Amino acid sequence: MGWASRKADNLGSAVCGGAGGMGLSQGPAFTQAYMQRLGGHLDEARRTVEKVREGELLPWLSALDREQAVSEFSARVSELEAAYEAIAGASPLVQPLMMMRHADTDIASRTLEFFTPALPLDAASLVYTAAGVVLALIVYEIFKSPAFLFRKKKPTRHLRGSHRL
């Protein structure tokens, strides 16, 4: 491998490692942004249940229909509460994984739409940064390996006078 190809390899691994580290470091920051949005949805869903129950919202419903509406809105509150508790109750290192498992796709997509990457310096984010670097380097090595299978091998030179016995 020549000097230029070694330098290209070093640059490729540095770029991949940096991109992986920066990408995964955003997991905890995105999870916090998602939790804020989820908490807002949860608060609003609770207010909606109370307003429907009191007849302030949807006043034209009959008592039976009101009870059905409260039941349906309450199911949504329970779903949001379960997701919020599962994520908030996890350790900071596991929260991004729990968020991916319990995420509401509509809330997550709106969170992503308004998410601004941050420079995270907390312990969990630094662990995710390191994991991103390692995973990206592994992926880089896997993808570059087939290139080495097809390169030409340099012929080996034998020194004169040296013979194997």
DSSP 82-100: HHHHHHHTS-TTTHHHHHH
Residue 24 binned pLDDT confidence (cut-offs 50, 70, 90): confident
For residue 161, pLDDT over 60 is answered with no
User: Is there a domain that residue 150 lies in?
Assistant: no
Q: Of 30-34, 37-41, 120-124, give the lowest mean pLDDT range.
A: 120-124
User: Is there a domain that residue 88 lies in?
Assistant: yes
User: Is there a domain that residue 36 lies in?
Assistant: yes
Among 127, 137, 145, 141, CA closest to 20:
137
User: Is there a domain that residue 151 lies in?
Assistant: no
Number of structural domains the chain divides into: 1
pLDDT one-digit tens code per residue, 81-125: 999 999 999 999 999 999 999 999 999 999 999 998 887 778 888
- 75-101 in b/e form (b: 16+ CB < 10 A) is ebbeebeebbeebeebeeeebbebbee
Q: Which residue has the higher pLDDT, 129 or 81?
A: 81
User: Is there a domain that residue 154 lies in?
Assistant: no
Residue 126 binned pLDDT confidence (cut-offs 50, 70, 90): confident
pTM of the predicted model, to two decimals? 0.72
**Domain carrying residue 23:** 12-144
User: Is there a domain that residue 82 lies in?
Assistant: yes
pLDDT one-digit tens code per residue, 47-72: 999 999 999 999 999 999 999 999 99
